[in-house]
Structure 1
């Protein structure tokens, strides 16, 4: 009796189109990192998918050298056929399956980024009225966990710049914010108004103050961005926000007032491991609506 683990040459075998699509994107971008950004995946996930495809085909498609990434001879031959296969798949899908986007889309964002997210949500619902959209407004650490657990379909999340994950929309500094008519920042203990005790900024802000030996006290701590802004506006406290989120009637406090410098944060677009077409459509809508710039990354050399 033959070993059931042996390959049967007469048995029909199917290729995984998702692995093939990832390989083509890597070939087009000449870099695992660039392909990961384009696919909203981690570099490790892209590398694993290419490896699985190579194992399925029983040949090496990419030659990984210390300073470059090249297609092997088999990779070059397979790439042309892979493009044909994907094109045929996409044509069939467009002709027989594709229609108006439907479904339920779960979107997440921290309180300070809701305003930035609103135009994309409006544009998306106008373009896809059959999609039921729900918004989860929570601190970034909560959204990070929800994406990893598959409880959200897409989210904007703030990460300390070195810890950025997903697609980086932009990076910007965390700044001290106060009233235009108050010098409450001179008070000790320093009165603080913070959005939420789970806020990703909170430990960095309190750690920076502790390092400088500046005593502080909490005046207000709540999940509402607007409520926090109100306490700052009337001069009861100061807070720390991303520079782009500071309301026009408040001011960024200058660097020379004795408060510690705060770190930069990356605003990232995150999707779960299994991405639904409706989430991909929303992600593209969001990217189109936001002014963005990628942070500097150490890219792999272009494919020779």
Structure 2
């Protein structure tokens, strides 16, 4: 007598195998941890063998689990491809996209293209600082994310690398003041430790004028000439200007990589969204607007 696999059980098994955690798999699959545990147990009962070895901090595949994982992936791939071919609507469901505050606008073209092509996928944005988004990807709280790293420490797929530059309002002399007035995104921002470290290395005293996760609020204090900030060159608004370190005595800042991160288990919608992000952002770097300041 023929027997049929329950693909929901297999999908859960693959998510747990990839993440090594019932909790992470539950986040990826939008399920409770208890439901994930029950589904794994049901699959083990059907196959009459243990699929995982329960360690103290992580689940590891048993010998039978390693063998089954290869075919489990094939079954899911064939199912998803066949469903897409037969229904003509390949993608449905929800997609959680992580993005740093300063990259929301650069991400907009990819979001628009995806929404127009896949109207049955509900996109939700999770805006946070890059370190937080890295943790969200690892824990399955987002399905795909842009993350900013110092270029030498990049993780995931690097979309592009660009310089971090000092920015101030046009005609402002805020860069001359000491302590140097800074307006930055909150303390979790990936740029903050780099900027403060560079100033410390040069012995330049600084003070915080304003901190906020709202990028427009940060820009407002810079436009008003109250402070300077540091942004990726492609994100500098046209009405602000970048400052050349050699002309101002400010320390040079390192380049940052804009990276695309996906969790261990990647849903089809996330993979397609990632492709569109790479297409729209890889060649869309901004033009550097550097003010050459003449010192007295």
Describe how 1:147-296 pairs up with structure 2 within 5 A: 147-256=137-246, 257-292=248-283
The gaps in structure 2 that reach 5 residues or longer are: 1-9, 15-62, 69-74, 285-296
- Cα distance in structure 2, aligned partners of 1:149 and 1:266: 22
Query: Once the 2 structures are TM-superposed, how far is the Cα of residue 163 of structure 1 from its aligned partner?
Result: 1.2
Q: Which has the higher contact order (CA 8 A, sep 6+)?
A: 1
- What is the aligned partner in structure 2 of residue 9 from structure 1? none
Query: Once the 2 structures are TM-superposed, how far is the Cα of residue 100 of structure 1 from its aligned partner?
Result: 3.9
Change (3 A) 1:185 1:286: same
Query: Once the 2 structures are TM-superposed, how far is the Cα of residue 291 of structure 1 from its aligned partner?
Result: 3.0
CA contact (8 A) 2:133 2:147 kept: yes
Change (3 A) 1:247 1:137: same
- What is the aligned partner in structure 2 of residue 64 from structure 1? none
Change (3 A) 1:127 1:213: same
CA contact (8 A) 2:83 2:90 kept: no
CA contact (8 A) 1:100 1:130 kept: no
Query: Once the 2 structures are TM-superposed, how far is the Cα of residue 188 of structure 1 from its aligned partner?
Result: 0.3
- Cα distance in structure 2, aligned partners of 1:263 and 1:100: 41
CA contact (8 A) 2:84 2:91 kept: no
The gaps in structure 1 that reach 5 residues or longer are: 1-15, 20-51, 58-84, 294-304
Change (3 A) 1:91 1:234: closer
- Choose which of 81, 98, 112 in structure 2 pairs with 1:122: 112
- Cα distance in structure 2, aligned partners of 1:143 and 1:177: 25
Q: CA RMSD in A?
A: 3.1
CA contact (8 A) 2:84 2:90 kept: no
Over 2 Å off, 4+ runs: 85-100
Partner SS state of residue 257, structure 2: strand
Q: Deviations over 1:70-95 (max 9, x none)?
A: xxxxxxxxxxxxxxx99987874554
CA contact (8 A) 1:175 1:243 kept: yes
Change (3 A) 1:208 1:110: same
Query: Once the 2 structures are TM-superposed, how far is the Cα of residue 292 of structure 1 from its aligned partner?
Result: 3.9
Partner SS state of residue 151, structure 1: coil
Deviates most, 107-116 or 87-96: 87-96
- What is the aligned partner in structure 2 of residue 66 from structure 1? none
Q: Deviations over 1:209-240 (max 9, x none)?
A: 01111000000000011111110011000000
- Cα distance in structure 1, aligned partners of 2:267 and 2:164: 33
What TM-score comes out, normalization by structure 1 length? 0.66
- Residues paired across the two proteins, number: 222
Q: Deviations over 1:253-284 (max 9, x none)?
A: 12221101111110001110000011111111
Query: Once the 2 structures are TM-superposed, how far is the Cα of residue 167 of structure 1 from its aligned partner?
Result: 0.7
What TM-score comes out, normalization by structure 2 length? 0.68
- Cα distance in structure 2, aligned partners of 1:88 and 1:116: 35
